[in-house]
Chains A and B, each alone.
Chain A
């Protein structure tokens, strides 16, 4: 089996976990930090948000390196989906599939993302568009309010045993559990 074939298999969780820690190390070694949501602030600043709020008046050029990481992530997603993942199904728990079927999802796990949420036709319905837009808004607002997202708090912050990150991650889970168990069944 050559290396490409090996990579093209589904990755066990521990391989993925080790790779994420390695990426954090690479960024620390470059004198930077692993945190993806701060790019949203940088993009706001580039777009001129500093005229409206002082929060966006900072030297965004010092954050250019992170925007390059974003560009790399887009390319990485393209490479992984087009060349390294022949089987793009998700091996879900049968209970999860049952719950999704009850919510009206037609083929849970047959693709990486559900067409019920990410299908292009959703952009032309109020409900479909609202789900994507409200989800995104909460992510952007919440990440900045909490001072970080999954990478900044759950990986970088907890790796450094920071109490604020633990509180933030507990918050992530409270919000995620409320959405998954109470709100999603109402929405779908």
Chain B
């Protein structure tokens, strides 16, 4: 039952995403119109604490539960990849109002039409895999 911890973390994530209203299409729309502080507050607080957590882990050389070092794999340097990929993602995020985490949370909450978004996201991922070598990275 080594997976039970991940199930619990996932449940916590689902509850937090729903209770924070980050799963709401309206909140994403409102965020991109700069008419509410709500989403910026959530992401900003998560970042503030996230930066502190990562710095503490690095400085104290904290180990994982299994005793192995906690490693932060650096991402490859590139601009086009992150910028173009990011813009494409942003277009979809604002249209469907859900990113890849909240999608699953919405399924659980009974918004079943999000399954179309999920299936299409799988298709999009598959398409990226097919054309990966032809895209600027």
Instruction: Decide: A138 and B35 in contact? CB cutoff 8 A.
Output: no
Instruction: Decide: A137 and B99 in contact? CB cutoff 8 A.
Output: no
**Roughly how many angstroms separate A81 CA and B108 CA in the complex, as a whole number?**
8
* A112: chain B residues within 8 A (beta carbon): 18, 21, 23-26, 109, 111
Q: Please report which residues of chain B, range 86-137, place their CB below 8 angstroms from some CB of chain A when the two chains form the complex.
A: 86-101, 104-114, 116-130, 132, 135
* B54: chain A residues within 8 A (beta carbon): 159-161
Instruction: Decide: A96 and B85 in contact? CB cutoff 8 A.
Output: no
Residue of A nearest to B8 (CB): A72
Which of B90, B94, B111 has its CB near the most chain A CB atoms (within 10 A)?
Answer: B90
The A contact surface, by secondary structure, is helix
Instruction: Decide: A31 and B135 in contact? CB cutoff 8 A.
Output: no
B118 to chain A, nearest CB (A): 6
The B contact surface, by secondary structure, is helix
Instruction: Decide: A184 and B94 in contact? CB cutoff 8 A.
Output: yes
Take A171-B82, A174-B86 as given contacts and tell me if A73 and B122 are in contact as well, using a CB distance cutoff of 8 Å: no
Instruction: Decide: B6 and A139 in contact? CB cutoff 8 A.
Output: no
B134 to chain A, nearest CB (A): 12
B77 to chain A, nearest CB (A): 7
Out of A28, A30, A84, name the residue touching B57 (CB < 8 Å): A28
A18 to chain B, nearest CB (A): 6
Instruction: Decide: B90 and A23 in contact? CB cutoff 8 A.
Output: no
Residue of A nearest to B88 (CB): A142
B3 to chain A, nearest CB (A): 5
**Roughly how many angstroms separate A37 CA and B36 CA in the complex, as a whole number?**
26
Instruction: Decide: A30 and B13 in contact? CB cutoff 8 A.
Output: no
**Roughly how many angstroms separate A149 CA and B78 CA in the complex, as a whole number?**
16
Instruction: Decide: B94 and A179 in contact? CB cutoff 8 A.
Output: yes
* B75: chain A residues within 8 A (beta carbon): 147, 157, 162, 164-165
Take A40-B121, A73-B17, A167-B79 as given contacts and tell me if A141 and B66 are in contact as well, using a CB distance cutoff of 8 Å: no
CB-based closest 3 A-B pairs: A171-B86, A72-B10, A76-B14
Query: B residues engaging A (CB < 8 A)?
Result: 3, 5-33, 35-39, 41-51, 53-54, 57, 64-66, 68, 70, 72-79, 81-101, 104-114, 116-130, 132, 135
